[in-house]
Structure 1
Amino acid sequence: GVNALADSQQEFTGRNILYLKHRPEEAAKQFNRDLPQIGAALARASQKLIEKRQQRKGPHRDEKVLTAWNGLMIKALAKGSVVLQDSQLLDAARHAAVFLRTTLYNPRSQTLYRRFCQGEGGIMGQLDDYAFLVAGLLELYQMTQDPQWLQWAMALTETQIDLFWDEQGDGFFDSLPDPLVVVRLKNDYDGAEPAANSLAAANLVRLGRLTDNSQWLDLAGRTIRSFDEQLHQNPQALPVLLAARQELLSAPSLVVVAGRRDAEDTKKILGIVQRSWCPGRFLLLADGGENQEVLGKMLPFVRTASMEDNQAIAYFCRDYTCQLPVVDPEELAEMLAREIGS
């Protein structure tokens, strides 16, 4: 990775720096050898370099596992599995979620640890650990319709509110209370990582809609309004929070699919909805099993969703008002495309 010929700071003066001066074709011509001979010579030289390097002490490697970063990765893997049609990505998202729940979660206190290193979890989780992981679990739930991820996201959100909510100024503190810390801060910039409050607000909007929880929707609105000054003066600094605000102000959109989980017609309809992305749209599977039972307790109309003539069907609902069920996958795809274009 070193460009030895462009040493403007004179860092390499008097040092031996290996670099590629000539292409293999040029070397073959210079030394009157054919390309296979040059390739073999380079391979032998590379092997000698590797053996010599392995005798030296290697650089330190950061091997800690962070809850927050894994939450973002779970979200990306789950979404990417549908976009790229790669089931291995979804398996990786599930594996990461199971690992976090097994090693970095205390089920008795329903709290998270921040990092896993050298075989143990430690350091109490901060706001970004909760917000980022909940965002990942919601995406994982959308792609798997496995209610355990939705239920865990709900439990973590309750804990997040208890630990970090600012009763005086609204929004969430980034850190836990600490007698040694005079001021608890709230990051207001969506950079390489989104601000924890931005994702916390987005999660509350989604969970509030998904569980018909008006209190969570109220907290989402109060969180967004607590950053009004930054949103008005420098809106480009908080795109994730702006997206959460837009979703909160929009009518909720739901697609309820009634069908057997492993049936091919159900999978086909689910795939159409998952690949037809629309901000704020939720996909719910009325599978006649645990997922429908969990959803039905929060959204009564999901409890009554059922197949038609033993076929999987889809109900498209806007602002909790559902249209007539759709059986034809192509008709559903056209309906969803119209929503995106509207």
Structure 2
Amino acid sequence: MNKLSNETSPYLLQHAHNPVEWYPWGDEALQRAIAEDKPILVSIGYAACHWCHVMERESFENEATARIMNEHFINIKIDREERPDLDHIYMDALQAMTGSGGWPLNMFLTPERLPFYGGTYFPPVKAYNRPSWQELLLALSDAFKNRREDIETQAINMRDHLAQASKFGSTINLLPKEEQFTRNQCDIIFSNIMQQADKEWGGFGNAPKFPGTFIIQYLLRYYHSFGDQTALDQALLSLDKMIQGGIYDQAGGGFARYSTDAKWLAPHFEKMLYDNALLVDVMSEAYLLTGNPLYSITIAETLTFIQREMTDAGGAFYAALDADSEGVEGKFYTWSKAEIDEILGEDADVFCRFYDISEEGNWEETNILWIKQSLSAFAAEHQLDESKLSEQLAIGLAKLMEVRGQRVRPGLDDKLLLGWNALMIHACCKAFAATGEGSYRNMALKAMDFCWTHFRKDGEESFYHTYKNGQAKYPAFLDDYAWLIRALIALQEVTGDKIYLDRAFSLTTFVLQHFSDESGVYCFYTVESQSDVIVRKKEVYDGATPSGNAIMAANLWYLGIVFDQKEWGERAMKMQAGQAQTTVRYPTSLGVWAGLLLQRVQGVKEIAIVGPDYKLKMEDTNKHYIPFKVLLGATQDNPEIPLLSHRERANETLIYVCEDYHCIKPVNYIDEIINLK
């Protein structure tokens, strides 16, 4: 009997009517595997996963296939976004076995939960140099029965390999700061990034091409620090080409997860909350640095999309939108030329030329809206008035949106994830700081209030990871806490309300108590009380989302300055020192760590604003591009915080800029202080 109907995950509910006897991960399934001495099939995916849907249609809905699965295996479905801890463990196992990974992730375990064989998508009949799913199931069942000792030895070795991979950080020798982190390292990081840079279409590496926001952010900050124009050019080229591309929804706003080609034309159409948050983050920095309205406009369109399609009534943010509608990838977003001709009439010709719409289509016999040529260049080439053209295109997009609104919508993954909400809260804060648009700050405040109320365990500092239908589930992971702490810090910088710093301090204390590894340097991914994982992993690489350890290092450094917690600052330095060599070699995999190394070299500006108008002057300060800063404000002295002690002067609001608590002469306006690199 299928056991998924009472779950809250949209992904699990998609499988609730399969003839496969799916279980959620939990004691019932795990104990049954031991009692019946059967191998476990763990199938991991997520609601917006295209190939997950394909394998479900082809295999999991097939009665004959389901009979084989039910007879020979205990079958467990996992939403990777609900249980990223399990996904990390079994994806690492798959990559160790095969050298590659992806979703759906199908991993076969012993009854003791140890992995012995894995793969991703398997076809219903032998194809793509892969066995059919049924053939594989029967072969593995036979091996489990007749070569049990070999399988168990292999599984134990894999568990030991996974455990060993997390044993680092115990011996870190700290050199003086000026020797540990150097300008030369920053230059080598930049050089290594540029070796992977696509200098024609932006981005890094070949197709499929992901946004690479951490690398773009490093380039912006490297330019700001050292004035290298090449760094700025590559960063802005990457943003501009994405904004012009099909990866960006030209009609409705918001970014898809990645592009399947090098030109950003054809996205994998799923839209994830975290990608849009991270892109708003880096576009906010680009806008502060350049003043280019393209970035403020794209921020506005993206956050409008988030409010319209991915925001819960309580103000929190949904996880994702599916790539498919009516079983077809991208159908909701693509157009035939005949459709556009009918909708736009005499205005269709210019619109189609601008957005590359043709009879034959620019992607799989249909059309994705994308911009091959900037508005000004197109207007000049076709001898059109630029402002009138802009207005005409906007009217055309609005008409397409009206028609698109009548289509069958992609599936919405409406679960709420604490960490992803924290990423979007942080992005809203940065967008407000850069543009001054008050609605962005309101979005952040409303979402944080929701998270603090609904994800938090009653009367405790601990949180849950996911929330849906009034139910919070699963202990929060390191990423959840790290990103939430960072979001609280950002909220203080845009509100001037110290309560957010106090919350960040208490959560950091909780994380250090319950996530620290045996060396007291890094943090495990799971809380110490969680017992259903075969190893406690430590994640340091920045993937699609930032490493929890990297963000914790940044949080410890920031809060160590604010609250004069020297041991926190020392721990942050140890964390960074342990990753420095790897960061220099592989910066595109450790982009956040690279930014932290650059921050160490450049130093942090400690900005304290004290007086009755401190909130307004904090807003003024936020309008300047000062990437490495601590920003605090208060109406009067606060002896609990060194930067706010002995700063008050009657009837004045003063701005103090300090480094290592040593301050230059206070000023009344941030514009009086220049060169804040």
TM range (shorter): 0.7 to 0.9
User: 1:23: which partner in 2?
Assistant: 341
Distance 1:226 1:18 in 2: 50
User: 1:338: which partner in 2?
Assistant: 675
| Cα displacement (A) at 1:91 | 1.0
Residue 481 of structure 2 aligns to a residue whose secondary structure is helix
Q: Which amino acid aligns with 1:100?
A: C
User: 2:485: which partner in 1?
Assistant: 134
Closer/same/farther in 2, CA of residues 111 and 249 from structure 1, 3 Å limit: farther
CA contact (8 A) 2:607 2:657 kept: yes
Q: Which amino acid aligns with 1:304?
A: H
User: 1:297: which partner in 2?
Assistant: 640
Report Cα offsets for 1:219-240 as digits up to 9, x if no partner.
2122223334532431331121
CA contact (8 A) 2:425 2:448 kept: yes
| Cα displacement (A) at 1:267 | 4.6
CA contact (8 A) 1:114 1:126 kept: yes
User: 2:633: which partner in 1?
Assistant: 285
| Cα displacement (A) at 1:119 | 1.1
Distance 1:78 1:151 in 2: 18
| Cα displacement (A) at 1:165 | 0.9
**Structure 1 residue 245 corresponds to structure 2 residue 597:** yes
User: 1:230: which partner in 2?
Assistant: 582
Residue 64 of structure 1 aligns to a residue whose secondary structure is strand
Residue 272 of structure 1 aligns to a residue whose secondary structure is helix
**Structure 1 residue 77 corresponds to structure 2 residue 442:** no
| Cα displacement (A) at 1:130 | 0.2
**Structure 1 residue 201 corresponds to structure 2 residue 553:** yes
Q: 1:163 aligns with which of 514, 526, 531?
A: 514
Distance 2:551 2:343 in 1: 53
Residue 541 of structure 2 aligns to a residue whose secondary structure is coil
Closer/same/farther in 2, CA of residues 165 and 269 from structure 1, 3 Å limit: same
Distance 1:322 1:94 in 2: 32
Residue 185 of structure 1 aligns to a residue whose secondary structure is coil
TM-score (norm 1): 0.76
**Structure 1 residue 215 corresponds to structure 2 residue 563:** no
Report Cα offsets for 1:197-251 as digits up to 9, x if no partner.
1111111111111111011112212222333453243133112112223334554
Residues 165-184 of structure 1 correspond to what in structure 2 (within 5 A)?
165-168=516-519, 170-177=521-528, 178-184=530-536
Closer/same/farther in 2, CA of residues 60 and 253 from structure 1, 3 Å limit: closer
* Greater Cα shift, 144-153 or 100-109: 100-109
Q: Unaligned regions of 5+ residues in structure 2, if any?
A: 1-245, 247-326, 329-333, 347-395
Q: Which amino acid aligns with 2:646?
A: T
User: 2:538: which partner in 1?
Assistant: 186
CA contact (8 A) 1:170 1:226 kept: no
Q: 1:91 aligns with which of 432, 437, 442?
A: 442
CA contact (8 A) 2:435 2:623 kept: no
Distance 1:97 1:85 in 2: 19
**Structure 1 residue 257 corresponds to structure 2 residue 603:** no
TM-score (norm 2): 0.40
CA contact (8 A) 2:496 2:615 kept: no
User: 2:652: which partner in 1?
Assistant: 311
Residue 338 of structure 1 aligns to a residue whose secondary structure is coil
Closer/same/farther in 2, CA of residues 282 and 195 from structure 1, 3 Å limit: same
Report Cα offsets for 1:142-191 as digits up to 9, x if no partner.
11111111111111111111121112373111123444423222223223
State the aligned residue count: 294
Distance 1:149 1:139 in 2: 9
Residue 63 of structure 1 aligns to a residue whose secondary structure is strand
Distance 1:313 1:232 in 2: 40
Residue 599 of structure 2 aligns to a residue whose secondary structure is helix
Q: Unaligned regions of 5+ residues in structure 1, if any?
A: 2-10, 29-38
Closer/same/farther in 2, CA of residues 139 and 27 from structure 1, 3 Å limit: closer
| Cα displacement (A) at 1:284 | 1.7
User: 2:661: which partner in 1?
Assistant: 320
Report Cα offsets for 1:17-64 as digits up to 9, x if no partner.
994427139978xxxxxxxxxx9xx99xx69x95xx78xxx8753111
Q: Which amino acid aligns with 2:623?
A: R
Closer/same/farther in 2, CA of residues 210 and 248 from structure 1, 3 Å limit: farther
Distance 2:522 2:570 in 1: 11
User: 1:31: which partner in 2?
Assistant: none
Residue 317 of structure 1 aligns to a residue whose secondary structure is strand
* Greater Cα shift, 229-238 or 279-288: 229-238
Distance 1:257 1:26 in 2: 54
CA contact (8 A) 2:418 2:480 kept: yes
CA contact (8 A) 2:464 2:474 kept: yes
CA contact (8 A) 1:221 1:245 kept: no
User: 1:4: which partner in 2?
Assistant: none
User: 1:33: which partner in 2?
Assistant: none
CA contact (8 A) 2:580 2:597 kept: no
CA contact (8 A) 1:67 1:104 kept: yes
| Cα displacement (A) at 1:73 | 0.7
Distance 1:61 1:25 in 2: 27
| Cα displacement (A) at 1:297 | 1.0
CA contact (8 A) 1:251 1:319 kept: no
| Cα displacement (A) at 1:139 | 0.6
Q: 1:121 aligns with which of 452, 472, 487?
A: 472
